[in-house]
Amino acid sequence: MADPSRYSRQLILPGFGEGGQAALERSRVLVIGAGGLGCHVLPQLAAMGVGTIGVVDDDLVEASNLHRQTLYTPADVGAPKAARAAARVRELNPEASVHVHLDRLSAANALELFDGYDLVIDGSDNFPTRYLVDDSAALSGIPSVWGAVHRYGGQAGVSWASRGPSYRDLFPQPPEPGTVPSCAEAGVLPSVCAVIGGLLVSETVKLVTGIGEPLLGRVVAYDARAGSVRELAYGRDPDAAPVTALIDYDEFCGPAPAPRETDASTMTPSADETPDEITPEALAAARADGEQVQLVDVREPWEAEIASLDGAVLIPLGQLPQRWQELDPSAPTVVMCHGGVRSAQGRDILRSLDFELVTSLAGGIDAWSRRVDASVPRY
């Protein structure tokens, strides 16, 4: 066993002792995502003495991550998350064996990755990955400890198909596309990531050491605003078919019907032919050609303070049904938000109010920054 003085405060826990510590040192834990949850899970795993830790993430550090992804500093912006997180974990515990997987988890690589680990922690932020992790863990015969955060709350649970209910039993079908805003659209309280991340580590320790009762068949839901925690029990879905192979999870999670998108440099003159979306490049070309495009920003004021486009009229989405009279219903109109979800809702609201030529900016201002004007800050 490693230096017992380092782990003395957990060694003296009732029922833990040297046996629990040895189990941690032998364990191999794979963490999916080095974001808000991963940044709280990874250092705790290392500090407690988990022997082998893998981290899967293909994303880069952005400035908007720093308020909750506390493994990173401003100097890390632009660097691969998994690599920087692994470096910090090694600093916390040089005895830990840390493996970096910079590829995005997919149906093509998941089973091979999972084969080297005893347990997986799912800290991902999207439904296709959550179902992929759950199915891959089921096929690999290992448990999955999963968590999710949203605004002021979060959930945590354990999925283990060979021992009890799984994530698919709790959520047989994913939500309709666009009905659950992403973190970029909805926001998240940083402390919620810490609470849920701590729960994920506790569940991992219980599964590895055999101490306590894992959240198998139970979900813990935390509400930061109410300061409350509640538990939901669930069982196996009797109608669920066993998982026999991985599938196309983007398709399973119901991608929205392909929008009518235009790459033309002019707004379509016919209301019947107005596309559902316009690319950032097409909007930029139209503006450069001097076309009079009514640009409606449905983000919140704090977002507009970070990044905005010249000439945009700021009307938060929740105020649009009351303030639409500030706009010209006959003008060619483009609705924009951060990533394209709220703008699509704003487009539909305006269409219901008889706006003749209204479309949504595909990918929002974030896509504009990446593809048209890098001087517009990303968040």
CB neighbourhood size of 29 (10 A): 24
Best CA proximity match to 133, nearest among 253, 252, 246: 246
What is the side-by-side order of every strand in the sheet holding 261-262? Answer: 261-262, 277-278, 358-361, 333-336, 294-297, 313-314
Is residue 166 within 8 A of residue 160, CB to CB? The reply is yes
Q: Determine the residue type at 6.
A: R
Residues with catalytic annotation? Answer: 183, 337
Largest CA distance in the chain: 75
What is the phi/psi pair of residue 20, to 5°? -65, -40
CA distances for 229 relative to 219, 220, 234, angstroms? 10, 7, 17
Report the run of H or E that residue 219 belongs to, with start and end. strand 218-223
CA distances for 270 relative to 266, 275, 356, angstroms? 12, 10, 8
Give the 3-state secondary structure of 31-89.
Answer: EECCCCCHHHHHHHHHHHCCCEEEEECCCECCHHHCCCCCCCCHHHCCCEHHHHHHHHH
Residue 111 CB contacts under 8 Å (≥ 6 apart), including other chains: 136, 139, 140, 246
